[in-house]
Each structure stands twice: as structure tokens, then as C-alpha cells.
Amino acid sequence: MTRFNPREQIREMSGYHSPQVDVPVRLNTNESPFAPPTDWVQSIGAIAQSIDWNRYPDRAAAELCEAIARRHGVNPNQVFVANGSNEVIQTILLAYGGAGRTVATFEPTYQMYAQIARVTGAEVVEGERRADLTLDPMEIERLVVRHSPAVTFLCNPNNPTGLVEPRENLEALLEVASGIVVVDEAYAEFADWSAMELVSEDKPIAVTRTFSKTLSMAALRVGYVVGPTWFINDLRIASLPYHLDAFKQAATIAALQYTAEMEQRVAIIKSERGRIESTMRDLGVHVWPSGSNFVLFRTTDADAKNVWASLLRQGVLVRDCSSWPRLEGCLRVTVGTEAENSAFLAALAVALAE
């Protein structure tokens, strides 16, 4: 039987893989190491029972948008929610990308921008970071002026480098931008500044957030974007009807009561991050200063693949970035619980001595 061919963009792709291995210490996907607040977990049964399961959910997710708008001091019409911020990105690219349009990224950065942009038919143009993985504002200007992208992604803090983007870089981008500027703030709570305050009706800037990282709810699949009303209206048109199920809307509203508790956890992660960074530097490893809940590092004397395999043999899974373009020799570790981090650091010392 003949094999039916998918679209060219799909044929050229291998998909996004983050292999999960069953090990005691899993530090490869930047999730929170903590379970969500117990009170929220215990309220889930009652929330599920309160749903009118025979009815479609509120299509606009109005109450949820209001709750998120309150959190950021914006108008509910400036909020669009989807099933994870990846779906937010997809909806933005369905509305503003597509065939005949250009989408800009600054590499290395989160791989899903280029992946989803291509799947939805746009052409991707890649700006380059410096050798130390920081981004030169001149490069932003060069890329944007040359290609006039319909959408430009800036990830702050940047995944997989962990580096916080200087505010001047976003200002440089806004100065020359011809299309929408999307600032992905999946890790904003761990950083020292946010672009959220720049959102206004007359600027083409949109800021995305997720419940998957800081808020310990990766399994719930909720993310959102805050942007100008006209932009949010376009996303509502591009999204599927009833894309957010009723349970998710109610459970997410309930989860927003626990943001104070989540902030305490952020403080723990940041302090553990400092401990990981300094211990690794003492071990002679090159560490990029992180404003996030993960740390990118390069083992200068040992081969990264060997270090990764040795860590795995010792029951610690980190992300192997060493075959990714521009990240030769690099591994990325998510900040875990104190015990997990200690296990990782001890295993790393062994791996480096092998």
C-alpha cells in the first residue's frame, strides 16, 4: 500500500522529543519538584462534581480570564487562555503566522517556536546569540529590519540557557518591530523583571505565562497570554470553539487562590539554584547564571555524553543538549528538591572523576 504523504513541513520534521526514563531523580523537563497545594488537590473532587457535564463550557472562559486579569492588573479582554502555553503559541501562530509570513527566533531558544511556526506554514528566520549565549541588540535590529517578521519570539528567561534577557533588548526589539512581539515568560517568577507591565493597547507586545512550571500544574495543561484587546480578539477567532473544558476552567480558578503559597516555593527553588550553581563552579564546571528554575552547564574536561550517561547510571536524569545546534558540550539540569539536588551534585562529582 502506498504511504500517504503529509505536508512538506511535516515530512521534514521529527517532532519534539523529551525522552522520559524511569529514574529516582528526574531533573530534565523543568517541572516543579513540588506537588500542588494539598488543599487544591482535595478540592478537585468537589469541583468535578459541580460541573454540568452535559453542557458545553463557557466558550470565552470569562470567569477564568477575569481571575487572571486580576492577578496582573489588566483588563479581562486582554487575556486569552489555552491548554498550556504551547497551545497559546500555536494559536498566535495560526492567527499571525502561516504561509507567506515570517517568524523570528533568537537561537538557541525554546524549540517549539520554530517547530510550531513551520507546522503552521510560516518561514522561520533565526537570529544568532553571541558565543556566551547572550543576545546582542544589534542582532535583533539586523534580523527584524531585514525580514520584517510577522511574529518575533523572545524567551525571558531564555530556555535552554536560563539567562535573563536584558530589558534593553526588548526595548530594542519594540523599537524596530514590524509585527507582534511575543515574550514567553514561562519562568518569569524566577527572574528579576517581567515584560508584563509593558502590555498596553497601543504596543504590539504579548506576554505568555504557564501553570506548568512555577504553579506545579504541568498535568493540568493551562497557559495564557496577556496582550492588547485587538490581538486577543484575533486569538479567539483562531482558536477552536470550547477549547478549554469546563473542569479545567473551574480547577484553574481554584488554583489561583494559592499563588502566595507558590511564591514561597519560588524562594526555595531560587536558593537551591544558588547552591547548585556555586557547587558546580567549585567542581570546575562552566555554569551560565540562571534566572530560571534550571541551569545550563558545560563540562570543560569531560565529554558531555559520558557525563549524562554516568548521571543516568547513578539514577539522575538531566537534559542532554549537547547535540543541539550551538550547545555543544552542554547539559541542562532542572532545580529539584533539596534532596534531589544533593543527589545530582554528588553524582556529578562522581561523573567528572570517572
d(CA 6, CA 102): 22
CB neighbours of 315 closer than 8 A, spacing ≥ 6? 23, 24, 25, 343, 347
User: DSSP letter string over 149-173?
Assistant: -SEEEEESSPTTT-PPPPHHHHHHH
Which amino acid, 191? Answer: A
Instruction: Provide the minimum distance between the beta carbon of 55 and ligand PLP in the complex, in angstroms, as a whole number.
Output: 26
Q: Which residue has the cell 526555595?
A: 268
Contact footprint for ligand PLP (CB under 6 A): 30, 84-86, 110, 155, 159, 184, 186, 210, 212-213, 218, 223
Instruction: Provide the minimum distance between the beta carbon of 186 and ligand PLP in the complex, in angstroms, as a whole number.
Output: 4
Instruction: Provide the minimum distance between the beta carbon of 175 and ligand PLP in the complex, in angstroms, as a whole number.
Output: 24
Decide whether 155 or 246 has the Cβ nearer to ligand PLP. Answer: 155
Decide whether 112 or 246 has the Cβ nearer to ligand PLP. Answer: 112
Decide whether 89 or 347 has the Cβ nearer to ligand PLP. Answer: 89
- The alpha carbon of residue 180 and the mean position of all alpha carbons in its chain are separated, in whole angstroms, by 18
Which amino acid, 106? Answer: F
Decide whether 169 or 210 has the Cβ nearer to ligand PLP. Answer: 210
Instruction: Decide if 142 contacts 148 (C-beta within 8 A).
Output: no
Instruction: Provide the minimum distance between the beta carbon of 352 and ligand PLP in the complex, in angstroms, as a whole number.
Output: 27
* CA-closest candidate to residue 282, choices 293, 272, 274, 290: 274
Whether the link from the prior residue into 325 is cis, omega within 30° of 0, is: no
Beta strand 286-287 with 151-155 is: unpaired
Decide whether 213 or 351 has the Cβ nearer to ligand PLP. Answer: 213
Instruction: Decide if 176 contacts 141 (C-beta within 8 A).
Output: yes
Instruction: Provide the minimum distance between the beta carbon of 87 and ligand PLP in the complex, in angstroms, as a whole number.
Output: 7
Q: How many C-beta atoms surround the C-beta of residue 337 within 10 A?
A: 16
Instruction: Provide the minimum distance between the beta carbon of 291 and ligand PLP in the complex, in angstroms, as a whole number.
Output: 13
Decide whether 205 or 347 has the Cβ nearer to ligand PLP. Answer: 205
Decide whether 155 or 181 has the Cβ nearer to ligand PLP. Answer: 155
d(CA 330, CA 323): 8
Strands of 159-278, DSSP E: 180-184, 205-210, 223-226
Strands of the chain, DSSP E: 25-26, 79-82, 102-107, 123-128, 151-155, 180-184, 205-210, 223-226, 286-287, 294-298, 316-317, 319-320, 330-334
Instruction: Provide the minimum distance between the beta carbon of 111 and ligand PLP in the complex, in angstroms, as a whole number.
Output: 9
Decide whether 80 or 110 has the Cβ nearer to ligand PLP. Answer: 110
Instruction: Provide the minimum distance between the beta carbon of 105 and ligand PLP in the complex, in angstroms, as a whole number.
Output: 11
d(CA 119, CA 114): 9
SS3 81: strand
* CA-closest candidate to residue 132, choices 284, 288, 330: 288
Decide whether 210 or 341 has the Cβ nearer to ligand PLP. Answer: 210
Instruction: Provide the minimum distance between the beta carbon of 30 and ligand PLP in the complex, in angstroms, as a whole number.
Output: 6
Q: Determine the residue with CB nearest ligand PLP.
A: 84
